[in-house]
């Protein structure tokens, strides 16, 4: 059931293989393991995507895709899984990462959060650069928190997919046993 649900949203492998912009990938894109929807492939892809969602905020799609090809896990699921962090969830995740990193590094999280920069009148680009500078000033606690979240969400995603994939099989097996017992009965 999960396989049918996931398959509904994924592009057909032939459509991806014949895409002109992806020809540079060569024979690597033709590996059938990149398109299989099985427990190992999907769980590994979710772990890869969740890891790179936190580790590389700019090149997360590319990093997840290359790693998926290298590890031979489902490519579309790995790239899609990076969307855990997106423009709408970026701020809460980074705030949580900073708090976690501050806890692990022993930095006082309340005292060290830089004040938001004032919006300059010289233009939006300067304001963007000041905001990015204040993000970088969070330094070590943010990086430690992001690394922690990357590992925890990757492991959690892997375990959750494995668990959710096995539940329907377990329920089918249980119903089958009950039917056999009732028939033997």
H helices, E strands: number in the chain: 9, 0
Calpha distance 34→106 (Å, rounded):
42
Calpha distance 111→102 (Å, rounded):
11
pLDDT at position 109: 57
Tell me if 147 sits within 8 A of 97, measured CB to CB.
Answer: no
Neighbours of 75 (CB within 10 A): 27
Q: Which residues contact 139 (CB under 8 A, 6 or more apart)?
A: none
pLDDT in tens, 10-36: 667 677 667 776 666 667 777 777 888
Residue 116 reports pLDDT greater than 60? no
Tell me if 79 sits within 8 A of 43, measured CB to CB.
Answer: no
Neighbours of 26 (CB within 10 A): 8
Share of residues in the chain with pLDDT > 70 (%): 75
- 72 vs 131, more confident: 72
Tell me if 146 sits within 8 A of 54, measured CB to CB.
Answer: yes
pLDDT in tens, 132-142: 666 666 678 88
- The mean pLDDT of 102-118, rounded to a whole number, is 67
Please tell me the least confidently modeled range out of 96-100, 112-116, 121-125.
112-116
Tell me how far apart the terminal alpha carbons of the chain are, to the nearest angstrom: 31
pLDDT at position 142: 87
Please tell me the least confidently modeled range out of 25-39, 90-104, 110-124.
110-124
- Up-side HSE of residue 173: CA atoms within 13 Å toward CB? 5
Report the predicted TM-score, pTM, of the whole model to 2 decimal places: 0.73
Give me the DSSP letters along 31-90: -GGGT--SHHHHHHHHHHHHHHHHH-SSSHHHHHHHHHHHHT--HHHHHHHGGGS-TTTH
Q: pLDDT class for 148, splitting at 50, 70, 90?
A: very high
């Amino acid at each position: 059931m999960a396989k049918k649900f996931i398959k509904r949203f994924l592009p057909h492998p032939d459509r991806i293989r014949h895409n002109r912009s992806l020809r540079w990938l060569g024979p690597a894109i033709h590996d059938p393991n990149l398109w299989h929807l099985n427990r190992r492939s999907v769980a590994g892809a979710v772990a890869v995507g969740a890891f790179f969602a936190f580790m590389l905020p700019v090149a997360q799609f590319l990093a997840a895709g290359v790693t998926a090809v290298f590890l031979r896990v489902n490519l579309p699921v790995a790239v899609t899984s990076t969307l855990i962090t997106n423009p709408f969830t970026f701020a809460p995740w980074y705030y949580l990462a900073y708090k976690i990193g501050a806890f692990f590094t022993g930095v006082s999280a309340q005292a060290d959060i830089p004040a938001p920069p004032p919006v300059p009148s010289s233009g939006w680009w300067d304001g963007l650069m000041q905001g990015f500078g204040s993000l970088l000033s969070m330094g070590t606690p943010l990086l430690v928190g992001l690394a922690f979240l990357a590992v925890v969400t990757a492991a959690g995603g892997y375990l959750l997919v494995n668990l959710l994939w096995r539940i329907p099989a377990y329920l089918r097996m249980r119903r089958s046993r009950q039917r056999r017992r009732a028939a033997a009965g």
